[in-house]
Structure 1
C-alpha cells in the first residue's frame, strides 16, 4: 500500500499483515519502563493505535480521541504504540489526562514496526512508525486494519470501534 508524508512517497518495511492474520505478540516498553506484550490472543479485543510521535499535533489528537472512545469500551484494551521514549510518553499522558488507554514504546528493538509492517524505511520520519490502527479479536486474529495513506491525516475513529461490536 502506498504511503505518503506531506504528499511525498515513503516506504514502510516489515511483514505486511492483513485482516484474518494472527497478530504477532511483541514486547514493548511502558512509560514506567516495564515490559509487556501486546498482540496475540488476550481473551479481549485489542485496539492498537499506532502513531509516529506523541509530540505532534495529529498524533496527540488521535491519542486523545482514542482515550475518549476507550472510556466506553468494556471488552477491549486500547494501546498507543510509538517510538517515543517512555519518559516522553509518561509526560504526555500526565499533561493530557490520558487514563483510559496505555502507551507503549517500540524504541528498543523496533519489533512492533517490523512485525506489523509499519516501520518507516525512508523519508524525514525514517525509523518511526507509520500512522495505523489495528483491531485484534480475543483469539488473536486481526479483524480491522488501517494504515493511513497520508501520515499527516487522522485515521477513521468509528470503524475500529464498530469492528468490536
Structure 2
C-alpha cells in the first residue's frame, strides 16, 4: 500500500486488515517492558492508534489526543503503538498522566503483521483502527500523508457507536 511523507511516496509491506475482518493477534511491549496481547482487550472496544515516531510533533499530538480522549470513553481502551524504543517512549511519557497504553514494537512484528511496515523508513504507517468487543475491525483509517493527523472525530465516533451497542 502506498503512503507519502511530505509528498515522497513509500510502500508498506502489505495490505492492512480491512473493516469487517478480525484484528490480527499481536504481542507488543508496554512501558514496563512486559508483553501485551490483543486478546487482553477482547470484551472491550479498542482504539489502536499507530504512529511512526512518538518523538515527532504530529505523532506526539496524535498520541496525546487519544490519551486525553481515553479519559472520557467508558467502555473503550486506547492503545498507541510506535516503533520507538522503551527508553524513548518512557521519556515521552514522563510528564504525562496516562489514560491509555503506550506500547512499543521495536522488533516491527506488529507493523509487519498489520501490513504497516515501511522498510525504507524503518517505521510504520500512521493508522487508527477501532476494534469491537468481539475482535473485529469496525473502523480503519490509513493516513495517506504521514505528516498529517488522522480524523480523530471519525475514530472516536466509531468507538462511541460500539460503546452504545452494549446499552
Fold similarity call, TM over 0.5: yes
* Structure-2 change in CA distance of 1:105 and 1:41 (3 Å): closer
| Maintained 8 Å contact 1:26/1:112 | yes
Q: Could you tell me which residue of structure 1 aligns to residue 99 of structure 2?
A: 100
| Maintained 8 Å contact 1:23/1:39 | no
| Maintained 8 Å contact 1:13/1:114 | yes
Aligned pairs, number: 160
Q: Could you tell me which residue of structure 2 aligns to residue 58 of structure 1?
A: 58
1:128 and 2:127 matched: no
Give every structure 1 segment of 4 or more consecutive aligned residues whose post-TM-superposition deviation is greater than 2 Å: 38-41
The CA deviation string for residues 22-44 of structure 1, in whole angstroms up to 9 with x for no partner, is 00110001111111112686101
1:114 and 2:112 matched: yes
* Structure-2 change in CA distance of 1:17 and 1:128 (3 Å): same
CA RMSD between the two structures: 1.5
* Structure-2 change in CA distance of 1:100 and 1:41 (3 Å): closer
User: Whole-Å Cα distance in 1 between the matches of residues 12 and 39 of structure 2?
Assistant: 20
* Structure-2 change in CA distance of 1:138 and 1:117 (3 Å): same
- So what's the TM-score if we normalise by structure 2? 0.90
- So what's the TM-score if we normalise by structure 1? 0.91
Segments of 5+ residues of structure 2 without an aligned counterpart are 162-167
* Structure-2 change in CA distance of 1:73 and 1:55 (3 Å): same
Give 1:68 shift. Answer: 1.3
